[in-house]
Each structure stands twice: as C-alpha cells, then as structure tokens.
C-alpha cells in the first residue's frame, strides 16, 4: 500500500491504492481503531468499465477462463468491502514468536 503511512493518525476516511497481482486496487476507508492503525476497513472503488462490463461478463464465461483472469487480475474478484493489514516494523519477529504457541495450541486441540 504505497500511500498509507502508519505513523500518521487517520480519523476520517482516506483513499488508498494497493497492488494485488497485476491489478491496482483503489479503495476508501479508515483505520479500524486507534489501537491498530495498521488495520484498515476499506470499500473497494470500482471504475465504470469494471462495474458495467467486466464483472457481469465474467459471470457468463467458463470457469477455466474466470480462473485465468482471476490469477492475472485478482482485484476484479474482490468483494465490495475488505480489511487490509499493513505489515508493521518488527511484525515478522512477532509472528515467529507466536508460531510455537500456535503449534502447541493446535496439538492440544487435536487431543
């Protein structure tokens, strides 16, 4: 998400763009809450060709063609509302610290 900066406070809605596969997705939204400014609740903005032509036409094409298009342009297949989490500094270390706990939790549920 190139134009999203987690160091700034965003109380109101803001427009963001992010890459998803070969497509650039435009959306508008705001931070979920003040504790997690890196989590955004977004409403995807669709262009006129996407709304009028692409989405309805893709519904009538064979599954293999839709799968091919979804592989190249996955942004066309997003729901109208999405939640995006931006990677924060130190997030990968936090993830690695949580991995052993998650594995032990899975093992305890299997019993």
SS3 sequence, the chain? CCCCCCCCCCCCCEEEEEEECCEEEEEEEEEEECCEEEEEEEEEECCHHHHHHHHHHHHCCCHHHHHHHHHHCHHHHCCCEEEEECCCCCHHHHHHHHHHHHHHHHHHHHC
pTM comes to 0.62
With bands split at pLDDT 50, 70 and 90, how would you rate the model's confidence at 41? Answer: very high
Q: Is residue 71 part of a domain?
A: yes
Least confident of 42-56, 70-84, 93-107: 93-107
Q: Give percent of the chain above pLDDT 70.
A: 81
* pLDDT greater than 50 at residue 40: yes
Q: Is residue 49 part of a domain?
A: yes
Query: What's the domain range around 92?
Result: 14-110
Total structural domains within the chain: 1
Give me the mean pLDDT over the 24-30 stretch.
92
Q: Is residue 33 part of a domain?
A: yes
């Amino acid at each position: 998400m190139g134009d999203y900066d987690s160091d700034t406070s965003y109380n109101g809605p803001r427009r963001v763009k992010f890459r998803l596969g070969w497509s650039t997705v435009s959306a508008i939204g705001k931070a979920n809450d003040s504790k997690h400014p890196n989590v955004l609740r977004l409403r995807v903005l669709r262009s006129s060709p996407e709304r009028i032509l692409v989405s309805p036409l893709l519904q009538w094409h064979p599954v293999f063609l839709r799968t091919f298009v979804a592989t190249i342009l996955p942004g066309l297949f997003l729901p109208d509302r999405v939640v995006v989490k931006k990677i924060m500094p130190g997030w990968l270390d936090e993830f690695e610290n949580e991995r052993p706990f998650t594995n032990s939790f899975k093992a305890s549920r299997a019993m």
